[in-house]
């Protein structure tokens, strides 16, 4: 398998920066994000209408562009839901709403080959670049290069994080701030002191286990804080937000000029 540069960077303690793709279906988005300097992109299957074919096409674009492609799966449960994005070439998974050690054990079982798990063996696929190699060589490489990220989105998950991170095969943990705020009874208040307290607790537990931590936010200033606190897996904005916010800014600036033009005036 290809080297997972994001996984390698995280092991070296480096900061990696990515974004979410939830709406744009063209494989060209991968090259755009790579050109912009992103290290990785996360294809969202949890909150989008993407089909597995769209996901496969986006992954091909990412592999061609040289940007690491991770898929956020729609559910933490279901062997096939977890393994199929890997079979079509994803270099990692972001698994949402993880809360118990038992769930993590099943996630690893579905996404890692023997001896770590029991992922279904379809070896001559895009994830191996269709090469014919010894099965043990492919499965060993896949286990080494596949990045498994737990999305931590509830008070329960943070309170039990020690157990979640004790399972072999977990590579990183990433906060979902909106769902976490809802779990804490302060929906949408992602800068509330209670939320900040729990995120800080998560970062410290991850440090104790030597597991990289991360978060997905729209605010660069907030992300700077968490990088300085020790987070290394950084997700900023999304295809939707970047398009809408940039377009809105351009239109707003032009409207500001246009309002000073007298009606009927021809230059």
Domain 5-239 has CATH 3.20.20.60: yes
Task: Return d(Cα 30, Cα 70) in angstroms, integer.
Answer: 12
Q: Quick one: pLDDT at residue 123? A: 80
Task: Provide the percentage of residues in the chain whose pLDDT is more than 70.
Answer: 98
Task: Return d(Cα 91, Cα 98) in angstroms, integer.
Answer: 20
pLDDT in tens, the chain (267 residues): 789 999 999 999 999 999 999 999 999 999 999 999 999 999 999 999 999 999 999 999 999 999 999 999 999 999 999 999 999 999 999 999 999 999 999 999 999 999 999 998 888 777 877 777 788 889 999 999 999 999 999 999 999 999 999 999 999 999 999 999 999 999 999 999 999 999 999 999 999 999 999 999 999 999 999 999 999 999 999 999 999 999 999 999 999 999 888 766 655
Tokens of 35: 């050109």
Stated pTM of the model: 0.94
Distances (CA, A) of 19 to 188, 195, 217, 246, 248: 20, 22, 9, 15, 20
Q: Quick one: pLDDT at residue 124? A: 75
Q: Quick one: pLDDT at residue 262? A: 73
Q: Quick one: pLDDT at residue 126? A: 76
Residue entry with tokens 């992103």: 38
Q: Is 47 a catalytic residue?
A: yes
Write out the DSSP string of 188-236: T-TTSHHHHHHHHHHHHHHHHTT--EEEEES-HHHHHHHHHHT--EEEE
Tokens of 47: 């909150």
Q: Quick one: pLDDT at residue 194? A: 98
Rg (CA), the chain: 20
The residues spanned by each domain of the chain are 5-239
Task: Return d(Cα 172, Cα 207) in angstroms, integer.
Answer: 11
Cis peptide bond upstream of 227, omega within 30: no
Residue entry with tokens 């992109």: 41
Q: Quick one: pLDDT at residue 144? A: 97
Q: Quick one: pLDDT at residue 242? A: 98
Task: Return d(Cα 167, Cα 163) in angstroms, integer.
Answer: 7
């Amino acid at each position: 398998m290809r080297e997972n540069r994001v996984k390698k960077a995280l092991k070296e303690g480096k900061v990696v920066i990515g974004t979410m793709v939830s709406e744009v279906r063209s494989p060209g988005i991968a090259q755009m994000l790579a050109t912009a300097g992103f290290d990785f992109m996360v294809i969202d299957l949890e909150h989008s209408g993407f089909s597995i074919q769209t996901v496969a096409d986006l992954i091909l674009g990412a592999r061609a562009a040289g940007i690491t492609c991770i898929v956020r799966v729609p559910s933490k449960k279901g062997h096939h839901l977890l393994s199929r994005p890997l079979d079509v070439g994803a270099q990692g998974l972001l698994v949402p709403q993880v809360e118990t050690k038992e769930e993590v054990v099943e996630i690893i079982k579905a996404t890692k080959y023997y001896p770590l798990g029991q992922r279904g063996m379809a070896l001559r696929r895009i994830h191996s670049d269709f090469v014919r190699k010894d099965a043990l060589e492919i499965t060993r490489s896949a286990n080494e290069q596949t990045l498994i990220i737990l999305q931590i989105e509830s008070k329960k998950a943070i309170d039990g994080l020690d157990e979640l991170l004790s399972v072999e095969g977990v590579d990183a943990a990433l906060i979902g701030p909106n769902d976490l705020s809802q779990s804490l009874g302060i929906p949408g208040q992602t800068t509330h002191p209670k939320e900040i307290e729990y995120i800080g607790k998560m970062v410290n537990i991850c440090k104790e286990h030597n597991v990289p931590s991360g978060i997905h936010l729209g605010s660069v200033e907030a992300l700077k804080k968490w990088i300085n606190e020790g987070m290394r897996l950084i997700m900023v904005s999304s295809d939707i937000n970047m398009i809408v916010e940039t377009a809105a800014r351009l239109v707003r600036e032009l409207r500001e000029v246009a309002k000073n033009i007298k009606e009927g005036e021809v230059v």
